[in-house]
Amino acid sequence: MNGDIKPRVILVDDDESIRIWLKGLLVALGCEIAGEAANGRDGVELFKKERPDLVFLDVQMPELSGDLALEYILAADPDARVILLTSVDSSRFIYERMEAGAHYYLSKHAPPDEFKAALEEQINNLKQIP
Amino acid sequence: MKAAEPESGFSMAADGGRSLLLQTIQSISRGHFDALDTLYALPGEEGIAPEVAELAESIGLILVRLEARDFHIELAAEAEQRLQELNALKDKYLGIAAHDLRNPLSSIRGMSQMLIEMDLDKDTRKSFLESINRVSNQMLTLINDLLDVSVIESGGFELNLTEGNLSELVDERAGIATVNAQQKKITLSTDLQDVPNCMFDTERFRQVVDNLLTNAIKFSPSDTNIHLTCREIGTTIEIAVSDQGPGIPPEEIDKLFGAFETLSTRPTGGEKSTGLGLSIAKQIVDSHSGEIEVESKVGIGTTFVVRIPVKQQS
């Protein structure tokens, strides 16, 4: 992806305040928000409709959990880049999700500086994809 | 109490007194200690050696103790069951703390740090500040509810009864709820009749009415109406809140007033629901010697009715 083009991302999290925060942060980091959803089912539909460059997906959600949403998204596009937003820090939990095909994970409760740095790295990686 | 006696045709010679011993032991184990008298009273020649009789007594007493132990085991099992229930409740508290408090706190921290460090545009700043404000209020409500539930669970729930007018209280709460209803394009109509003054805990009853109104707004779709009434019926004052929301499935009605019970119906505007409000409301109404009832039809709407006696029993 050309460095000048804004990565298109979607945000799927049932917590409105988390979405508002991440939206602000992603825009500040040069992303375009293609859409947002408050549950897994709507998130999968949004993915199919928008085909974004990057998906931010919460794990614990109503309607359809993030785990299942991840499966559906990868079934729709095996190359989809999904970054999981977790509240759980156990390495086994994270290992299982990475095995399931998640591209990366971010702990929502990490210190803001760390969170921002990790997010920035992911966005920059995306920009360097030819 | 009848002592154990040898069966008719009983012969000591036949089984060496084994049947009599067994009978006596059984009688003792049921608390019939006078059975020993029969044993000791047998004629000398046919009688049982005193050592054997003592042994029978000991065995009988052991059986009595075993039964007592069984009883204590039962008590312990009941205590363990209660402990497990409390443990499950504690897990739910922790679950709420982990999800419903940690998420908003993380977002508040993230947004406030960005506000401090970054040069954000006006719209982003406004949406951050509004979100921080809204989320803080939600967290405060949640913490207050958790504290209420914990007071209720520990049995330390006390009312501060004063004389007041429920119609006026309902009117006051409706005025405040109208603002929230309008934001979701929901109208609020009222039919508040003159009712006699009665004794109630003003702050707690505000909580009840607020909870019913908040729930009705939370679960109602746009362009619907919520109807609120207050009237005197017989010896009670009745408050009713009717909505045109999705209704509650019959199989979920029983769970409605339990602590931490959230049902399949979801808030229409992405609001939070921890399932504590109705449990607290029921506790407050119950402690006023009142009752809270619900009538609901899926696809039509739900009505919550609260009745409290005009004259509180002391």
What is the rounded CA–CA span in Å between residue A43 and residue A11?
Answer: 8
CATH homologous superfamily for the domain B164-309: Histidine kinase-like ATPase, C-terminal domain (3.30.565.10)
Domains of chain A, by residue range, sit at 8-127
A108, A113, A115 member nearest B103 (Cβ): A108
**Yes or no, beta carbons of B114 and A112 under 8 Å apart:** yes
Report pLDDT digits (tens) over B21-57.
788 888 877 778 777 777 777 665 556 677 777 887 8
**Yes or no, beta carbons of B124 and A24 under 8 Å apart:** yes
Mean pLDDT lowest for which of B87-101, B126-140, B208-222?
B87-101
**Yes or no, beta carbons of A24 and B102 under 8 Å apart:** no
**Yes or no, beta carbons of A112 and B110 under 8 Å apart:** yes
Say whether pLDDT at B198 is over 60.
Answer: yes
| Helix%, strand%, coil% for chain A, nearest 5 | 45, 20, 35
**Which of B103, B113, B116, B121 to mutate against chain A (most A CBs within 10 Å)?**
B103
pLDDT value of residue B90: 77
Say whether pLDDT at B153 is over 90.
Answer: no
Say whether pLDDT at B297 is over 50.
Answer: yes
**A100: β partners:** none
Residue B107: φ, ψ to 5°: -70, -35
Report pLDDT digits (tens) over A40-58.
999 999 999 999 999 999 9
**B257 at interface of A, judged by CB pairs closer than 8 A:** no
Exposure of B312 by Cβ count < 10 A (0-12 exposed, 13-18 middle, 19+ buried)?
middle
ipTM of the complex: 0.86
**Yes or no, beta carbons of B104 and A87 under 8 Å apart:** no
Is residue A120 within 8 A of residue A29, CB to CB? The reply is yes
Coil, strand or helix at B120: coil
**Yes or no, beta carbons of B106 and A24 under 8 Å apart:** no
Q: How confident is the model at residue B313 (pLDDT cuts 50, 70, 90)?
A: low
What residues have CB less than 8 Å from B286, skipping those under 6 apart? B292
pTM for this prediction: 0.66
Q: Count other Cβ atoms within 10 Å, centred on residue B90.
A: 10
Of all residues in chain A, the one with the smallest CA distance to B114 is A25
Is residue A37 within 8 A of residue B270, CB to CB? The reply is no
Mean pLDDT lowest for which of A57-71, B26-40, B202-216?
B26-40
A14, A15, A62 member nearest B107 (Cβ): A15
Q: Is B191 left (phi over 0), alpha (psi -120 to 50) or beta?
A: beta
pLDDT value of residue B122: 93
Contacts of A66 in chain B (CB under 8 A): none
**Yes or no, beta carbons of A17 and B135 under 8 Å apart:** yes
pLDDT value of residue B4: 45
Say whether pLDDT at A3 is over 60.
Answer: no
**B120 at interface of A, judged by CB pairs closer than 8 A:** yes
Do B91-153 and B164-309 share a fold?
no
Q: Does residue B20 or residue A121 have the better pLDDT?
A: A121
Which residue in this structure is represented by tokens 């939370």? B218
Q: If you average pLDDT over residues A102-121, what whole number do you get?
A: 90
The domain made up of B91-153 has a fold known as Helix Hairpins (1.10.287)
Say whether pLDDT at B150 is over 70.
Answer: yes
Domains of chain B, by residue range, sit at 12-75, 91-153, 164-309
Tell me the CATH architecture of domain A8-127: 3-Layer(aba) Sandwich (3.40)
What is the rounded CA–CA span in Å between residue B212 and residue B304?
Answer: 7
